[in-house]
Amino acid sequence: MQALVFTRPGVVELQDIDEPSVKAGEAVVDVAACGICGSELHGISQPGFRQPPLVMGHEFAGTTADGRRVAVNPLTGCGQCSLCHSGQERICPGRAIVGIHRAGGFAPRVVVPERSLHDLPAHLSWEAGAMVEPLANGVHAWGLAGAPKSSRVGVIGAGTIGLVCLLAAQRGGADEIAVADLSERRLEVAGGLGADVTSPALEGEFDVIFDAVGLPATHQASVDRLRPGGIAVWLGLMSPDAGFDATALVRQEKRVTGSFAYTDDEFSTAVQMAGEVDLGWADSFPLNEGAQVFMSLMHGRDDVTKALLRP
């Protein structure tokens, strides 16, 4: 079968690969749509977390051999440690992610653990099915923020992860949501989804700030713009530099937490949410155009917020 393969630093290409083999407890999924994640765009220029050769793709939906329409929770824990036993597989030291530690969804077929399958409602489009994984990240981040109703929420970065934080905060009853991004086009998308304020940088004070970029400057803004006692939830991975004033954390009891992935329950919540929110901002492309789409997104193309590949 023809799959999109990360072959060497900075390169993804279409290649003929063997059909995946299935072990006990696993299922084959015929992939209908698989999203390109921002983490993959910079992951291929700096291999580390992902090692070539690899079929990436951890945001996908499709059909099993017995006809179930499913989205796949790509993350599994070791199942043995205390984190796994307390439902925190996402931060298990032995966690494995489909599309990172094993072949993923940029292929016509992918093999996944059976327990990772989540049934999709019959009416849900494949595009929305592939958006369940990013939505689950928003659900989790909102939970980490304490899901505060009637709050002022700031979102830095109007890419997919910023937008799913916006959608999760809206759904959770936030009072006012401001979204900051340097791209006009992305701010338009955020405005279209109902952000109350869109601007190049956050202004004013917030109870919660999501940093969906992860640069030193956005880390700093996410702390500076918090009210005393507020919480910054970091999801972006662009730089390892913290870059913020640590004394403000002490003197004003501000908090910063990282947010990685989601629980399986939050993934289920995201399945439900996928049928309720506007996901019309995702664009589909055939898998055989995947290499060009990857390259253009890596080079800063911003007319596409979320690209989905359809094998």
Residue positions counted in the chain: 311
- Pick one of 14, 81, 217, 248: the residue that binds Zn ion (CB under 5 A): 81
Question: 45-64 mask for Zn ion (x: CB under 5 A)?
Answer: --------------------
Cross-strand partners of 307:
283
Report whether 214 contacts 237 (CB < 8 A): yes
Token pair 């939830």: residue? 233
- Identity of the residue, 78 or 246, whose beta carbon is nearer to Zn ion in the bound complex: 78
- Identity of the residue, 92 or 112, whose beta carbon is nearer to Zn ion in the bound complex: 92
Query: SS3 of 41, please?
Result: helix
- Identity of the residue, 67 or 93, whose beta carbon is nearer to Zn ion in the bound complex: 93
Tell me if 92 contacts Zn ion by CB under 5 A: yes
Question: Least distance to Zn ion from the beta carbon of 81, Å?
Answer: 3
Query: What is the distance between the alpha carbons of residues 105 and 62, in angstroms, rounded to a whole number?
Result: 9
Q: Which of residues 13-42 bind Zn ion (CB under 5 A)?
A: 37
Q: Which residues of 255-282 are buried (b: 16+ CB within 10 A; e: fewer)?
A: bbeebebbbbebbbbbbebbeebebebb
Question: Least distance to Zn ion from the beta carbon of 34, Å?
Answer: 11
- Pick one of 19, 30, 42, 78: the residue that binds Zn ion (CB under 5 A): 78
Number of residues that bind Zn ion (CB under 5 A): 6
Alpha-carbon radius of gyration of the chain = 19
Question: Least distance to Zn ion from the beta carbon of 37, Å?
Answer: 3
Question: Least distance to Zn ion from the beta carbon of 39, Å?
Answer: 5
Q: Tell me, what amino acid is at 44? A: I
